[in-house]
């Protein structure tokens, strides 16, 4: 179950990025993303789990590059999200490899995939919302201040949540 979800995530990440890049006429980088997906899946099969972190970082960099060059944002967002899911599931599969065959692997997989799907859907939804909603009358200084405030608030929130 996890393996299928992992492969689908990698396909989502690489195909989205490749499609987004090819739409912008960058065929060679699009091929590189397809190759990245293949290498990622093969390395997971060979239990080279560290490759997953690298591939995730490359996917995010690729998405950021695409956003920087005004490629279709939705594909870049899907690429980043797929990369995140692939990275998470690769690590989860590694953890599952330590489980004994008699452990409740099915139950753990089911719970993990459900929760991860919820988190991914929530993240994607909020990100999509942020793309749709646009506030035009906002000074740059105010925007910067809000972002810094958000970062500070996030950090405080995390600290507070961890304390409780």
Partner 1 sequence: MPRSLLLGFITYGLLLAGIATVRGEFIALALPLVIYLLAGFLFSPDTVNLEATRHLSAERASPGAEVTVTVTVVNRGDSLDEVLIEDFLPADLTLRPSTGSGQRFGHTGHLIRLRKDSSFTFSYRVAGPRGGYGFESVRAQVNDFLRTTSRTVELEAKGQLFIFPPVTRLRHVAIRPRRTRVYAGMIPARVGGSGTEFFGVREYQPGDSPRAINWRASAHHADADMLYANEFQQERAADVGVILDGRLRTNEFSRGHSLFEYSVQAAAALSDALLAQGNRVGLLVYAAFLRWTIPGYGKFQREKILFSLAHARPGGSNVFADLEHLPTRLFPPESQIILVSPLHEDDLSPLVQLRARGYQVLVVCPNPVKFELSYLPKNKNVELAARVIRMERAILLQKIQRAGIQVLDWDVAEPFDQVVKRKLSRPPGFLRSTH
Where on the chain is the footprint of partner 1 (CB under 8 A)?
Answer: 53, 56-57, 60, 63-64, 67-68, 73, 76-77, 80-81, 84, 88, 91-92, 95-96, 98-105, 107-108, 111-112, 115-116, 119-120, 122-124, 126-128, 130-131, 134, 140, 143-144, 147-148, 151, 154, 157-158, 161-164
**Is the CB of 48 or the CB of 96 nearer to partner 1?**
96
**Is the CB of 40 or the CB of 92 nearer to partner 1?**
92
Do 123 and 81 form a contact (C-beta atoms < 8 A)?
yes
Nearest residue to 120 via CA among 158, 63, 82, 91: 82
Task: Locate 154 and state its tokens.
Answer: 């996030």
We find the least distance from the C-beta atom of residue 69 to partner 1, in angstroms, to be: 11
We find the least distance from the C-beta atom of residue 39 to partner 1, in angstroms, to be: 19
**Is the CB of 18 or the CB of 88 nearer to partner 1?**
88
We find the least distance from the C-beta atom of residue 36 to partner 1, in angstroms, to be: 17
39, 42, 149 from 139: Cα distances, Å: 45, 48, 15
We find the least distance from the C-beta atom of residue 97 to partner 1, in angstroms, to be: 9
**Is the CB of 7 or the CB of 67 nearer to partner 1?**
67
**Is the CB of 27 or the CB of 147 nearer to partner 1?**
147
Which residues, other chains included, contact 17 with Cβ-Cβ below 8 Å and sequence gap of 6+? 30, 33, 59, 62, 63, 66, 75, 76, 79
We find the least distance from the C-beta atom of residue 77 to partner 1, in angstroms, to be: 6
* CA 27 – CA 155 distance, rounded (Å): 40
Task: Locate 44 and state its tokens.
Answer: 């997971």
Do 31 and 143 form a contact (C-beta atoms < 8 A)?
no
């Amino acid at each position: 179950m996890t393996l299928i979800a992992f492969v689908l995530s990698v396909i989502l990440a690489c195909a989205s990025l490749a499609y987004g890049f090819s739409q912008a006429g960058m065929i060679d980088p699009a091929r590189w993303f397809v190759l990245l997906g293949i290498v990622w899946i093969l390395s997971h099969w060979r239990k080279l789990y560290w490759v997953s972190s690298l591939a995730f970082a490359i996917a995010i960099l690729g998405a950021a590059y695409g956003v920087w060059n005004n490629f279709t944002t939705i594909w870049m967002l899907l690429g980043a999200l797929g990369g995140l899911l692939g990275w998470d599931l690769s690590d989860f599969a590694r953890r599952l490899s330590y489980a004994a065959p008699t452990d409740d692997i099915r139950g753990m997989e089911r719970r993990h995939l459900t929760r991860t799907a919820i988190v991914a859907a929530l993240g994607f939804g909020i990100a999509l919302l942020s793309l749709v909603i646009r506030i035009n009358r906002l000074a740059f200084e105010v925007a910067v201040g809000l972002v810094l405030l958000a970062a500070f608030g996030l950090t405080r929130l995390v600290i507070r949540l961890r304390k409780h």
